[in-house]
Structures are given as C-alpha cells and as structure tokens.
Chain A
Amino acid sequence: MKIGIVVFPGSNCDRDIERAAEVVGSESGFIWHKDKDVRGYDAIVLPGGFAHGDYLRCGAIARFSPVMDAVSEFAEGGGPVLGICNGFQTLLESGLLPGATLRNTGLRFICRPQKLRIDNVNTPFTHLYKKGEVLDFPIAHAEGNYYADPDTIKLLEDEGRIVFRYAEPDGSLTEASNPNGSMHNIAGITNKTGNVVGLMPHPERVVESILGGTDGLRVFKSVMSWCGKGGVR
C-alpha cells in the first residue's frame, strides 16, 4: 500500500499526510506537481496549503499543474483520491468534484477544532466510520464556504454524496455549528462514483493522541483496508 502525496509550490500539509501514512503503516511518496505520472500509487492525496500562493482563487492555478491530468485519469479509473482543505479546493476547481468555496461569511481565517457529522460511510476514506458518528477535526481556512447551485445541492443530497457536515456535538445541524456559511452545513463531499472525496477540515492533524485526538485516523485506515480489498495499482 502506497499513498501518493501531491506537492504543489505552497503545499504545507504534505508532511502531515506522510506522518499519517506512517502512523497507519502505509508507505507514501511525494509527487511533484510537474510530474505527469502517478503510477505505482494505490491512493492519491492532495494536501492543504496555499498552492501557487492561492493567487486568483484557491486551487485555480493548481488545477492546471501538469500532475492534475494524471490525477484525473487515476480518479476516472476508480482510484481513491482525497483532497483536504486546499486540496479539496483544487478538486473543485478541476471539476473532479462539483461546486466552489467562497470567503467565510464572517470574513475571518478560522483555525480551531470543529465537530463534524459523517453522513456517507461508503467511500474508500470513510468506510471504517459509523454513519451519523460525530468527529472532531481541526479546520483552518478563510475560504471554506461551500457553494453550489440549487440543482447541484439537490443532486448531492439525493445521491447521498455529502460525506461530512458541520454539526453540534449531538450531531444536529444548526446555523451556530456552521463556521463558514457553507450551504447545508457541507464540510465534505464525494463524486458520483464515490472514489473522490474532498473536505475542508484536516483529518491528518488528528491521527495521534499527542496531537490532541485520533478521530482522523480511520480516514487513513479506511483507505488502507479499501486498497487491501483489491485497490488499483
């Protein structure tokens, strides 16, 4: 099992992913954004950070990095792809996931622990969780306000493609538990085939108790066991 970690100029959570892979016993390797080949990896992670300085829009320039054609091809072939924070924004810009992120409604960069409810446990990255479970992942973003047109939101709801939602500790969805104004409290979604997942919060920052929690561990354990059951290579 080997996780490929895409490194854009300005990525800054790449080594956190490497550590998360190490904690669950997976091999990993860095893929420079100018590489055009992702062969040899069982799963691809687009880490957080500020790819290409986030100039113009978050992820807008990253989506045209040479590696993204190979990532798209990998995703279309059913390979598990996870985008975290800036990596999620890059997946949105690339069209691998629908929608966009706007400035947080409060206009502030928010960096703190955040309660999430997990609503889809059929993806390679969430199948070891229980549906409806409430987790604590840190968030750290200024543009995490998920937006999509009403038809897209309806489609995501109808097809159960909303994976994570900002929630109260009891799992209820309120305006107060929504940190950034995201539609339908959306924190993370998946594509139609369920192999591409993107979320604003950071599971890789809660994989060891010394970091303050282990709620994110099963994201990485999930993809390991998923690939063990006949993942692509």
Chain B
Amino acid sequence: MKSYLAKVVVTLKPSILDPQGVAVRTGLLSMGYSDVDSVRLGKFIEVRLKADDEAAARAMVDEISKKLLANLVMERYEFTVAEEVAK
C-alpha cells in the first residue's frame, strides 16, 4: 500500500448566501480594496491515507467527502490527491 495526501476543500453551494464571506468582503472594502467582488469562506481538510493506487485513494476520498466531510444539502467539495514518498 502507498501513502497519499488528500486536500479537500468544502464550500457552501453557490446558491447559498455566505454571511461570513460577506462580512470579510465588507472588511476588505473598508480597507480600500474596492476591486474585491466577493469572498466565500469554506473548509480545508487534509487527509492522509493508505491505498493500493491513486484511483483507490481518490475513490476513498470521494466516499468520505460525501459521507462526512461535506453535507451535500448545503455544500460541495473538491479535492486533490498526491502520493507521499517517505524522505
């Protein structure tokens, strides 16, 4: 089995208002960054896992993202997976 590092990003669905993002944008505007059009906050999750190959690792990350890391009622997710080689 090989070691993989998955980086999962979970964000609210685009159709859902993100009040935290709105508050951060308001802060940026008051700092003078008038070209900032929008800000959305999300979650960044690192998962280290063992799998036979990258396809198996991706399948596992997809499954745990659906089951636990994201709530598909209100969120969506994307991720990258890269093999970790022991130094």
Contacts and interface: CB of A to CB of B under 8 A. Distances in A.
Contacts of B69: 56
Contacts of A106: 19
- The prevalent SS among residues of A at the interface is loop
- The prevalent SS among residues of B at the interface is mixed
A149 interface: yes
B71 A107 contact: no
Contact of A149 (B43, B68, B71, B73): B73
A232 interface: no
A100 B17 CA distance: 14
B68 A64 contact: yes
Given A102-B16, A105-B17, A57 B71 contact: yes
A147 interface: yes
A100 B15 CA distance: 14
Interface string B1-25: 0000000000010001101100100
Interface in A52-70: 56-57, 60-61, 64
A10 to B, nearest CB: 17
B29 interface: no
Bin the interface of chain A by size.
Answer: 20 to 34
Interface in A122-181: 147-149, 181
Nearest to A64: B68
Nearest to A148: B73
Contact of B71 (A93, A105, A181): A93
Contacts of A147: 16, 73-74
B10 to A, nearest CB: 9
Interface in A77-114: 92-93, 98-100, 102-107
A56 B43 CA distance: 9
A147 B73 CA distance: 8
Contacts of B23: 107
A106 B12 CA distance: 17
Given A105-B17, A105-B19, A107-B20, A99 B73 contact: yes
Contacts of B43: 56
> Which of B23, B69, B74 has the largest count of A CB atoms less than 10 A from its CB?
B74
16 contacts: A56-B43, A56-B68, A56-B69, A57-B71, A64-B68, A92-B73, A98-B73, A99-B73, A100-B73, A102-B12, A102-B16, A105-B17, A105-B19, A106-B19, A147-B73, A148-B73
